[in-house]
Structure 1
Amino acid sequence: MPALVLLGAQWGDEGKGKATDLLGGSVDYVVRYQGGNNAGHTVVVGDQKYALHLLPSGILSPGCTPVIGNGVVVDPSVLFSELNGLNDRGVDTSKLLISGNAHIITPYNVTVDKVTERFLGKRKIGTTGRGIGPTYADKINRVGIRIQDLYDESILTQKVEAALDGKNQLLTKVFNRRAIEVGQVVEELLGYADRLKPYVADTVLVLNQALEQDKVVLFEGGQGTLLDIDHGTYPFVTSSNPTAGGACTGAGVGPTKISRVIGILKAYTTRVGSGPFPTELFDEDGDALRRIGGERGVTTGRDRRCGWFDAVIARYATRVNGLTDFFLTKLDILTGWEQIPVCVAYEIDGRRVEELPYSQTDFHHAKPVYEYLPGWSEDITKAKSFSDLPKNAQDYVKALEEMSGAPISAIGVGPGRDETIEINSFL
């Protein structure tokens, strides 16, 4: 079965765009199956750097059809901004397909997201303020607006009215904001209909037919495993399922059709936003990882919190996703450290714990238990094979592989498309 899932195995920002782009020339379809423009991928092609937020990374591969699945929430203004930016740089975006069942991020979803987060104060979740959570809430509450609704003005108006009945009460009586007018929202959304129409398709049918024809389909998750609404560090999570199971529901493809699940691991750990982070560094090492690694959110522009590699969460990601392989990124950033700590377990109330605790309280109190591996000083960015790496770098990779529970099949040694060591082919 030529269907692969590629997802983040930490808190996101692991370098999924680089991994997807590496495979993009060999696959026929690349599918985003969840999230929205709260995700961010940086892809470097030659001397060109592309920052993608909503579009699948495969849009940069000429022979690939990029697909936005039904599980994604779409802000049309962001979508068109990205498309315009790529078109201006000579990238062909005409093959893009968007599910008619994907939900639209409306202006009132963005407003509710921002005012709610401000209202929470110190208890805020750390959202991007882009309306993602409120849109998914509308979807679950069955008052969401889908892309197909743009082509029936009567249905669209009824749905917007239903959604604003409650939201205007909240905005005016709780947050002391002005009510949002139904007509204004409907007019804005209808303004996107004509330009969206060439892209809209029954993507569930398209993808299943492609698999029946032995086409290669890559499902690309946004965010990461520890931000999954069900399996992440709740409540400091996203509002969808970036884990492997989300690919089935977010694209409409059955689990028996998926042959490989690839987890992206950074050679250290980062996260953006609030929430527990056992290996987080507040010292010079943390500053150095942030500076050398360029750790600033593609979408948010916020500095990422940085820490050493956490094997506990890597093992957890292997388990909940059924990972068959890892792609280890940013190994080059660790060059220059005499010793590199790796978190192999947690200490919680005097107990050594080697698996991720299910209790939120325990995870908040978890302290990392480190093993120290010898570092290397040699430049590894020109390495083309595993044997080209210094012995200590090889040993570091082997140790992470053993601790994480799945083979490392590729290693990123630089940001460029060609700065990758392939140990085993993903296809």
Structure 2
Amino acid sequence: MTDAPSYGFDTLQIHAGARPDPATGARQVPIYQTTAYVFRDAEHAAALFNLQEVGYIYSRLTNPTVAALQERMATLEGGAGAVCCSSGHAAQIMALFPLMGPGLNVVVSTRLYGGSITQFSQTIKRFGWSATFVDFDDMEAVAAAIDENTRAIFCESIANPGGYVTDLDAAAKVANDAGLPLIVDNTSATPYLCRPIDHGATLVVHSMTKFLTGNGTVTGGCVVDSGNFDWSASGKFPSLSEPEPAYHGLKFHETFGPLAFTFHGIAIGLRDLGMTLNPQAAHYTLMGIETLSLRMQRHVENAEKVAGWLESHPAVEAVTYAGLPSSPSHEKMTRICPKGAGGLFTVALKSGYEGCVKFVDSLELFSHVANLGDTRSLVIHSASTTHRQLTEDQQVAAGAAPNVVRISIGIEDADDLIRDLDQALNASA
């Protein structure tokens, strides 16, 4: 597509990155189910391997179906480029990989998905990295947590599980003042509800498994680069600013400018970490994104109605949905996510841990699964599942206390969802 900024979101979610196949005229992006690609000649092959020419070498690195998805994601997020990979967790490692090294740290929000908390608090230690957890309601504390070894700041736009909205403008100012990239997980919001780059984010990561694909069929991740960060300014990011031995001293930032991070993610990240997204998964995600705006509108509409009903139920202690006027995140939501707070929130039950277990087991229309962002409404008791590995204090800080249930509202009839929730709440009480 040409002059992409002149098109609206609904048009771009269908057309960005998608062109009729030049060989067959196929209108939908084909699934290029191939491992390797034939080079025109030896000179062409050498140019590709030297990063002197853009093209396809091997599907661990590049694939036409995946490339179409990357272009679509970059366009929807307002970024310069994107790298797709095998899962949201893979995307987080891919985002940090060019920035970090032994002894270096990242400052992260306490309000993260439980698996992300484990990844940052435990797994990255094996690389010699560390994470400092801070409440992002206190930006002075975020700034104070930064030291000479900090290389990034990380948060979620709408936090999983509680639906907490991060003040991305304030976080971006802290990051900018420190000369650091702000990385934002935009999984729960999607680019339809929030574009973190518009609020100053450097990198945006996604679990495309969730709302983007929207049908619970495949896993996938993505890192979108804003193209706005000066990787050479401070000397803190040598992987991007200094000569790369594997490419005869090529300097990624000097050579590729705004696309430096994207090219590094493919040429180094995917080459060596191998977190490849397969073309069939990319195809499913491309098809899912075609209806993203329509689904997100319905997710928001249903969530507002269901959350409002839950807030007044006698068995409910609290509802965290940012779309409710009573939510502490409501004002931030109107600035950061003006189209709505998404379909994810938590409910605290007066009946405690055991009541949550009985409530989940009593639901009939809701599916009890470890996923979110599906067309179907989903439920899970985080303290006994996704956040089980955390201490109770960590669970509370993450918005997943023992008496809390996470709900992902789908696009069914809202009245049917309310009837199912009502009978399950009555059974749990």
TM-score normalized with structure 2 length: 0.27
Higher relative contact order (CA 8 A, sep 6+): 1
* Greater per-residue helix proportion: 2
* Greater per-residue strand proportion: 1
TM-score normalized with structure 1 length: 0.27
